[in-house]
Each structure stands twice: as structure tokens, then as C-alpha cells.
Amino acid sequence: MKDIHNPMESVIILWLLSFITMLGIGLIAPLMSKYAQSIGATNFEIGVIFGSFAIARTIAQIPVSYFSDKYGKKIFLLIGTFFYGVFTIMYPFVNSVFQLMILRTLNGIFSSFINPVAGAYVATVAPKEKLGEYMGLFNSAVSLGFSMGPLIGGIMAEYYGMKAPFYFCGLLSFISFIICYFKLKNIRVNKDGSFTYLSKLIVKHNKPSNKKSFSLEFLKNRCFLFACTINTLYIIVSTGIIAYLAIYASNFHMGLDQIGILIASTNLTSGALQKKFGKIFDSSTIYGNFTLYGGLLLGALGLYMVSMLNSLITFSSIFSPFIWMFIALEILAIGGAMCSPAINSLAMKDIDNEKKGMAMGLFTTSLNVGMFLGAILLGFLADLFGLSNMYKISAIALALTGIYSYFFIKKYKNKK
């Protein structure tokens, strides 16, 4: 195999690996709520099922990130892709909410071996002046995988049954395992913070490490703490789309294939725009900062439009529920594409290379905590107030997050 010396080549391989993995996850994530509902789960129990994935991922993330810094990232990517595939294939055999929760927990653990480790790899090899661009490109794999996954999964579920996407997702995870094994090289961070490509499966870094497997030292960095806070709040409110959109949209007589189209187009838009907004964030302080709080506010508008679907009778002569939902989710997607690269870049910009794996692990924990809190809280709100009002509350919370971001950045700039 040809030696890899260009960091962008490594990023492209990781992009492909993450894309295939997220394509598989995208096949089943939007359908999980309908699948759970089919075996008798309530909205709150659906939230617990989604939350079990997030909390397991959170607990596993820190030690995985620490040991991937110490022994190399490739072995963890291999373990993650293999076992994620194994447990996904087991979904069609569950017959209770508890069994589904156990499998989601196991999938959560092994998912922590994949994207966060791959993201730390990208952050390590990326030139500092292009970190936003590289992270935007890498993050686009997540969005693009999610964009195609729901479309394929929705069509498969509609015409071949609800269990078919789970088998296909497992197969895709095994394909990611093969790509990682044969195409990706390990990296070792040197004493001076540079890195070296190596062919070994397990690599012990040159720089001795006396750091703990879990450390809150990164939270002393104001940018990192701010990014974690915003990321958590953003994920809390956006979890409602992943967890409950299939149930919400089916109330308006949309089929699983239509739901797949909605989620696919949303994530395609987000994936296509993230690299561009990452470049804007890198190149301009004024417009770069706007991509953060402007994206959050635009996302809030999209979420509020989703919540208005119950009141669509007024607009029924102009927009069908499907078209209205499509427009609302596209607005939400553009907002997400604006703010996501900015949040990721702010988290990693002042972190040393040899610590980026652990920092990425702690940062990803904010995503997992957000998913857990969002799934539980939004499930409770959905049972209490209904899905439409749950989306309204989410939109208001996201708007407040955008306002908080604006004032934080303004204060931070003045102090600098």
C-alpha cells in the first residue's frame, strides 16, 4: 500500500469510513422510534432507549479517548466498527423494550470507538490554520451519511419491512471495518507535538504520558468550556428531530419513505454546506462569529416551523404538511451547518496535539450528555404536552442559546 504523507489523504479515508458508518446509523436512527413504538414503548420509554445509547457512549468515551491517545487510534476504530455491526444485526430479534435498551447501550459503547476517535485523528493531522476547514469536511461525512441513510432506510422499511435496515446497517459497519484495516495508517504524536504515520496496528506514543484517563483541565480553557456548553444545549433541543420526527410526521399521514426523504434532504443540505461555513469561520472574525449565533437562531426558526404543523389548516391551500415540513427542516439544516464547524473549531483551537484525543473525548461527552438529557426531557415533555408543544419549547430554548452565544462572544472579544 502506498505511504500516506498528505494529511488530507488521511482525512479523506476517515471521511469515507465515517460516511459509511453514519450511512448505516442513519438507516436505523430515524426508524428507531417507530420500531420501539411497535413493541409497545411510550414516548418517555423511547427517550430512555435513545438516552441509554447516549449515556453508554458518554461513560465509554473518556477511557477510549485516553487509550487511543496512548496506543494509537486505528485499533479502536477497528474494534468499534466490528462490534457495532455485530450488535446492530441483533436488533430484529428483540421483543421487549428492555432488550432494545440493552442493545442500544452496547451500540452506544462501541460507537464511542468510531467517530470521536476519527475526529481526534483529523484534529491531530490538520494544519492549525485550516482546522475549521478540515473539521467541516470531516463533519460533512456525518451529515451526508445521515442524509442518504434515512432515505434508503425509509424505502427499505416501507417496502421490505422494518427489520431490513438493521441488517443492512450491520453490513455497512463491517465494510467500514475492512476499509479501516487495509487503508488507514496509525499516527504517533512526537515529543515536539508533530506526528508520524506508522503501519503498526498498536502504537505507543513517544511522549511519556502521566495524564489521567479523565481530566477536566480543558474546561479551564474558556473557548473549550463555551463550545461544550453550546454543544450540549444545541444537542438537547435537536434530539427531538432524531428521536420523534418519524412518530410526529406519521400523525400527518406521511409514510416511512417520505420521512426518509425529509431527513435525507435535511442532512444533505447540512453536509454540503459545513465545509463552506468552516472556511468562513476560519477566514473572518466578524462573519465567522456570525456563523455561530446566526446558525443557532436560524435553527430555532426552523424548529418553531416544525411545531406549527398542527396549525397548518390555515395554510393548507398553499402548503401541504410534507412541503411545510420540508421547508422547516431545510432552514434548521442551514442553521446547523453554520454553527457546527464553529463549535467544533472553538473546542479544539487551543488544545495541544498530544491531548486532542482526550479533549475530543470530553467534548464529545457534551454531545452525549445533550442526547441523554434531550431524549429523557423531551420524551417527558412529549407525554405531558404533546409533540407539537415539545418542538415549540425546543425552538425557544435554541433561540435563547443563540442570544447567549452572541453576548458571550461580544464579551470575550472585548476582554481580548
- Decide if 294 is inside a domain: yes
CATH assignment at residue 11: 1.20.1250.20
pLDDT at residue 216 is higher than 80:
no
pLDDT at residue 117 is higher than 60:
yes
Beta 195-198 vs 186-189: how paired, if at all? Answer: antiparallel
194 CB-near residues (< 8 Å, 6+ apart): 353
What integer pLDDT is reported at residue 1 of this predicted model? 37
What integer pLDDT is reported at residue 412 of this predicted model? 63
CA dist., res. 101 & res. 26, Å (int): 18
Helix (H) or strand (E) holding 181: helix 164-183
In Å, how far from its chain's centre is CA 275? Answer: 16
Single-letter amino acid, residue 387: L
Supply φ then ψ for residue 199, to 5 degrees: -90, -10
pLDDT at residue 208 is higher than 50:
no
Tell me the β-bridge partners of 198. Answer: 186
Could you give the number of structural domains in the chain? 1
What pLDDT, in 10s, does the model give residues 252-276? 888 888 888 888 888 788 878 887 8
- Decide if 2 is inside a domain: no
Query: Residue 413: how many CB atoms within 10 A of its CB?
Result: 11
The number of helices, as runs of H, and strands, as runs of E, in the chain is 13, 2
What integer pLDDT is reported at residue 78 of this predicted model? 93
First vs last Cα of the chain: how many Å apart?
48
What integer pLDDT is reported at residue 105 of this predicted model? 93
- Mean pLDDT over 299-305 rounds to 94
Entry field: residues in the chain: 416
- Mean pLDDT over 140-147 rounds to 75
Cβ(379)–Cβ(47) below 8 Å = yes
% the chain with pLDDT above 70: 89
- Decide if 170 is inside a domain: yes
What pLDDT, in 10s, does the model give residues 377-388? 999 999 999 999
CA dist., res. 288 & res. 265, Å (int): 25
- Decide if 1 is inside a domain: no
Q: How confident is residue 354, by pLDDT bands cut at 50, 70 and 90? A: low
Report CA-CA distances (Å) from 272 to 45, 138, 140, 221. Answer: 34, 11, 7, 31
DSSP of 38-100: HTT--HHHHHHHHHHHHHHHHHHHHHHHHHHHHH-SHHHHHHHHHHHHHHHHTGGG--SHHHH
In Å, how far from its chain's centre is CA 206? Answer: 32
- Decide if 208 is inside a domain: no
155 CB-near residues (< 8 Å, 6+ apart): 256, 257, 260
- Decide if 236 is inside a domain: yes
Q: How confident is residue 214, by pLDDT bands cut at 50, 70 and 90? A: low
**Quick one: cell of 393?**
419549547
Q: Quick one: residue 161, left, alpha or beta (phi over 0 = left, psi -120 to 50 = alpha)?
A: left
**pTM of the entire structure?**
0.74
Angle between helices 285-307 and 321-348 (to 10 degrees): 150
- Decide if 395 is inside a domain: yes
Single-letter amino acid, residue 160: Y
What pLDDT, in 10s, does the model give residues 50-70? 888 888 887 887 788 788 878
- Decide if 211 is inside a domain: no
The boundaries of the domain holding residue 253 are 7-203+217-415
Task: Pick the most confident of 188-192, 243-247, 279-283.
Answer: 243-247
265 CB-near residues (< 8 Å, 6+ apart): 147, 326, 329, 330, 333
